[in-house]
Homo-oligomer: A and B are copies of this chain.
Amino acid sequence: MDDDQRIEADPHERCRALGAILDRIGDKWTVMAVGALSEGPMRFNALQRLIGAVSHRMLTLTLRGLERDGLVTRTIYPTIPPKVEYALTNLGQRLIPPLKTLSDWAVENQAELEMAQRAYDASAARSAPAS
């Protein structure tokens, strides 16, 4: 690691930043949680119902991660029974537009993507027909 040359405009810088953020939000449940919370603050169970297939544990861990990243706040109302409300922070809300940009791409291009996949699988089937 004796890099004497510092490359400021290194494209890797950008890639690493992108990789870092994808490491955090790239999992299956984080984006779902953010998407659900983008509609407004929500309680734990409401979140779980809205997302659907997420397990109790995974939602807890996901929300913990989001809270740690400062994207979500957890507000505890010390009532009986306990009531905990999750909400996007300012930082979390700023994440929505970039996410929407990406989802726009996904919606617009998913047909082409699936078509490419079918074509690839079809030609791959020639090499591995036995199954």
Binding site for B on A (CB under 8 A): 8, 11-15, 17-23, 25-28, 31-32, 35-36, 39, 50, 52, 67-71, 91, 94-95, 97-107, 109-110, 112-113, 115-117, 119-121
- A21 to chain B: which residues have CB within 8 Å? 102-103, 105-106, 110
**Which of B50, B99, B121 has a CB less than 8 Å from the CB of A18?**
B99
Interface of A: prevailing SS = helix
In the complex, what distance in Å separates the CA atom of A99 from the CA atom of B104?
12
Nearest 3 Cβ contacts at the A-B interface: A70-B116, A26-B26, A18-B103
- A120 to chain B: which residues have CB within 8 Å? 67-68, 70
